[in-house]
Structure 1
């Protein structure tokens, strides 16, 4: 009788302490043993190298680390590019809403602007969203005429933003009184969208000809907003 055999009788004898417990070798044991052996062999190999050979090996290791870093950065850039697939404020119609907003929001954040061309605040919001769309290309920005999105929607509620994600509406902004009406700046809307998670600050791009901090407070921007403001007063 072989006491090392894995038989039912031997199991009974081991249970009663007549035979010692069988030592079972797992896959982890085999892996650990192979790693330890490889490390020992590598250590012995290094001990046999002279200084010049060690220096050459160090250069090779540096190249290997640099190549790993390059591959890692390449993978990160490709992942970022796959997210940044938008970049402009798109005009959609009622039949397109389900596909461009409801379905698309399952994969990306969507900012929907309900607007009317005749309302100055809507023109201002369209300009702001167009700029934000260029800066935050992982978020989809669309605009739709208000009554095409919600029939009989009152002009008094415009501009209105619907912020959608995970296939559902997550937040909404009715009018821009909280930002100062016609004195609303891009940074106001940007902060609102950032606070609710609709835009990712780590993916922000600068606009062409604009510094990293932004250039929305320039004289041109102030003049443009003043013109909108004057137009609004003239209509009232």
Structure 2
């Protein structure tokens, strides 16, 4: 779980940037070139050992402090173990015992694409493959129909697939290869996290975890 040695850092960073330049389509698609407006290499500071790929580590000092992973006080009514996503605040909370929560910064859907409601984690994926939803294909017919998991995959290092009953609602909580999008409203609907953060969340929650996504302070219309 150690970070890469300094002499490997440049190699990891170069590989990440080469992959990021190769059309990072979003499952949860984004304005790529517009946001890569400064030196992308400044975002990456090493990597954490993982399989089959190491997880690129981000300089979280570049994020607004409210989007950095931390334990915070939590006064909501949800039971410990619940995931609560606040679309307006661009934050995800994993409710814990004792009136606290693990809080993460997230990127969310652009206007007209955000979903809200209640679901559960129906399955979990490690370096998952990506496929566009039917809506995405209708809007962008030239999209590839699948992409294997990897550093350039829009779902990143981990994905939590949300279900209602036995139905996959095509809404994901997943990693991203665009760390600058955390705190932004720009995806095609899914909730994106830093790869290191979604890997942390992945280890903390089992399949079946309750998920509440709120917008305007509510999870219902």
Higher relative contact order (CA 8 A, sep 6+): 2
Both structures adopt the same fold (TM-score exceeding 0.5) = no
TM-score (norm 2): 0.21
Name the larger-Rg structure: 1
TM-score (norm 1): 0.20
